[in-house]
C-alpha cells in the first residue's frame, strides 16, 4: 500500500502544480494557459491563419476561434480577412496583447521541457513508458490531449456531460 500511496501522492502533486501555475498565470495576466499559448504563437509566427494557428497549438479550430473571440474582446488580438483569399482569417497581436505577453509568466511546460531534455535518453524513455502505463491504468488512453500543461475549465466537463460525449481533454480559453 505504501508504493500505491507514493504514486497517488506524486500524481496529486503534478495536478496541484499545474493548477497552482494556472492560478498564478490568471492572477498575473488574467489569461488562461491556452490563451497565453495562442498569443505567444501569434507573436512567434506573426500574422497567422486560424487553421495554421490551431495546428501549431494542437487544438481544434473551433476551440482556437472561441479563445480568439475572448482575446479580441479584451483588445489583445485582432482578426482580419485575407486580401487575396477572403475565406481566410488571420490573427495578429495588438500592442496591448504584446505588452501583456511580456509581463506574463512562462508556461509551466517550459521549465519541464528544459529539464527533460537534459536527461539521458534512457531516462526520458523510462519516464515516457511509466506515464503511458499510468494513463492506461487510469483508462485515459483514448482521451485527446495537447502537449500543454494546463487545467481545463469546468465548462468543458459540463458541456460534455450535457452532450453525453466521451470527454476529450482540451484547452479552454
Quick check: 84 and 67 in contact, CB under 8 A?
A: no
Half-sphere exposure (Cβ direction) of 136: Cα atoms closer than 13 Å: 6
For residue 99, give the nearest of 65, 74, 63 by alpha carbon: 74
In this structure, the number of other CB atoms found within 10 A of the CB of residue 99 comes to 12
Spell out the domains of the chain, with CATH numbers in brackets.
Answer: 2-163 (1.10.10.10)
pLDDT digits (tens, 9 = 90+) for 110-167: 788 899 999 999 999 999 999 999 999 999 888 877 666 655 543 343 333 333 343 3
How far, in Å, CA of 153 to CA of 132, rounded? 24
| pTM of structure | 0.68
Q: What is the three-state SS of 68-108?
A: HHHHHHCCCEEEEECCCCCCCEEEEECHHHHHHHHHCCCCH
Residue with more model confidence, 162 or 87: 87
Amino acid at each position: 500500500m505504501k508504493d500505491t500511496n507514493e504514486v497517488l501522492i506524486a500524481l496529486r502533486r503534478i495536478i496541484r502544480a499545474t493548477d497552482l501555475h494556472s492560478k498564478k498565470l490568471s492572477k498575473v495576466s488574467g489569461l488562461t494557459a491556452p490563451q497565453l499559448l495562442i498569443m505567444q504563437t501569434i507573436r512567434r509566427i506573426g500574422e497567422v491563419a486560424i487553421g495554421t494557428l490551431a495546428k501549431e497549438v494542437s487544438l481544434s479550430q473551433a476551440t482556437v476561434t472561441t479563445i480568439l473571440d475572448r482575446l479580441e474582446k479584451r483588445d489583445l488580438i485582432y482578426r482580419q480577412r485575407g486580401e487575396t483569399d477572403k475565406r481566410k482569417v488571420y490573427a495578429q497581436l495588438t500592442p496591448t496583447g504584446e505588452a501583456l505577453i511580456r509581463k506574463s509568466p512562462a508556461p509551466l511546460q517550459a521549465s519541464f521541457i528544459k529539464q527533460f531534455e537534459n536527461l539521458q535518453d534512457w531516462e526520458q524513455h523510462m519516464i515516457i513508458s511509466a506515464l503511458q502505463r499510468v494513463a492506461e491504468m487510469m483508462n485515459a488512453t483514448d482521451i485527446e490531449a495537447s502537449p500543454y500543461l494546463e487545467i481545463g475549465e469546468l465548462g468543458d466537463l459540463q458541456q460534455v456531460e450535457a452532450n453525453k460525449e466521451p470527454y476529450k481533454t482540451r484547452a479552454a480559453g
